[in-house]
Amino acid sequence: MKIGYYPGCSLHGMAIDFGKSTEATCEALGIELEEIPGWSCCGASAAHSTNHLLGLALPARNLSLAEEAGFRSVAAPCAMCSNSMKKTHELILSDKETAAEVARITRREYRGGVTVLNAIQIFLEYGLDELAKRVVLPLKGLRVACYYGCLLTRPPDLLKFDDAEQPVLMDEVCKAVGTEPVEWGFKTECCGAGFSMSRTDLVCELTRRILENAVNNGAEAVVVACPMCHSNLDMRQANINKMFGTEFNIPIVYVTELVGLAIGVKPKKLGMRKHFVDAMRLTKRLSAEPQEEVARAS
């Protein structure tokens, strides 16, 4: 399986662990990722918040580049990137006026031939049964809270991924690799996203509620598929503890890291040492078991 790869700005910087784990896990699964030549930033919240045309044109450029390079599907693990590319794709296809306006700005044409995949969809495309067969070191019995945040599912009419209020697809991926997703109430609550630097107080308040709910429902780790969710829950955990006198110490892992661990990729290759809250302790939970038993258990 060969697909286009749009790492976006953060997977080469702040979320290098997300980038490394995506690349290493895909490689282990035999999914060939090929970077879109000449890709640029999707503009993120800053673009759509201050200039709606720029917010469409920046992702549109990347879609055109992917189409020109002959990719039918593109993996964009960052939830912000996949969100803006999916939205732009839908709007260009459904509204001719917008499409013309965007084409005027980008000076490129986009015919709509690219399917954008978020981090979870990479595994869904691969097939969950296939994935379960590849598990060699299941994190057996590890209770995880699957945190979807905003960008994976909303707005539902444009993103067309899972249920916007009660999503389950990340839970399915986590089950396939041997962990036990918990039921909890904050799957799709907002973490404050891009306000991490400009309104740290807001981010800490929102993430405190999320962590509290995850811990109260018995989660031993929170699984995410978005660089902003990760940095707000992982890096900001120290700020939250200081601000609210709490004692959170819960590892936040990318779904790509969790899958990678379970199929036997080395934690170092997944970038798991780069977290703020120690995630290496999870590797102690890895149990080498014959594959058949895992298959029977699931």
Partner 1 sequence: MRFSIDSEQLESGAVKRVEEMIQQSPSVCYQCGKCSAGCPVHYLMDIPPNVVIRLLQMGQTDRVLESRTIWVCASCNTCSTRCPKEFKIAECMDALRELALATGKDTPSEKDIKLFHREFLKSTRRFGKVHEASLAAFYKLKSRHFFADVGAGIKMFFKGKIRPIPHRVKGVREIRQMFEAAGYGQKVEQ
Which residues of the shown chain bind partner 1 in the complex (CB under 8 A)?
9-10, 12-17, 38-41, 43-55, 57-58, 61, 95, 104-107, 150, 154-157, 164-165, 188-190, 192-195, 197-200, 202, 206, 235, 238, 273-274, 276
Quick check: 250 and 222 in contact, CB under 8 A?
Answer: yes
Identity of the residue, 97 or 183, whose beta carbon is nearer to partner 1 in the bound complex: 97
Minimum distance of partner 1 from residue 14's CB (angstroms): 5
Dump the DSSP string for 172-224. HHHHHTT-EEPP-S-TT----GGGGTTTHHHHHHHHHHHHHHHHHTT-SEEEE
Identity of the residue, 10 or 25, whose beta carbon is nearer to partner 1 in the bound complex: 10
Identity of the residue, 228 or 262, whose beta carbon is nearer to partner 1 in the bound complex: 228
Give SS3 for 295. Answer: helix
Pairing of strands 143-146, 32-35: unpaired
Which helix (DSSP H) or strand (DSSP E) does residue 145 occupy? Answer: strand 143-146
Report which of 258, 182, 175 is spatially closest to residue 218, judged by C-alpha positions: 182
Identity of the residue, 200 or 287, whose beta carbon is nearer to partner 1 in the bound complex: 200
Minimum distance of partner 1 from residue 54's CB (angstroms): 4
Quick check: 260 and 24 in contact, CB under 8 A?
Answer: yes
Minimum distance of partner 1 from residue 201's CB (angstroms): 9
Minimum distance of partner 1 from residue 39's CB (angstroms): 8
Q: How far apart are CA 85 and CA 284, in angstroms?
A: 38
Identity of the residue, 136 or 235, whose beta carbon is nearer to partner 1 in the bound complex: 235
Minimum distance of partner 1 from residue 275's CB (angstroms): 8
Quick check: 93 and 229 in contact, CB under 8 A?
Answer: no
**SS3 per-residue string spanning 80-115:** HHHHHHHHHHHHHHHCHHHHHHHHHHHCCCCCCCCE
Which helix (DSSP H) or strand (DSSP E) does residue 4 occupy? Answer: strand 2-5
Quick check: 254 and 223 in contact, CB under 8 A?
Answer: yes
Minimum distance of partner 1 from residue 253's CB (angstroms): 15
Minimum distance of partner 1 from residue 80's CB (angstroms): 10
Identity of the residue, 179 or 231, whose beta carbon is nearer to partner 1 in the bound complex: 231
Identity of the residue, 16 or 136, whose beta carbon is nearer to partner 1 in the bound complex: 16
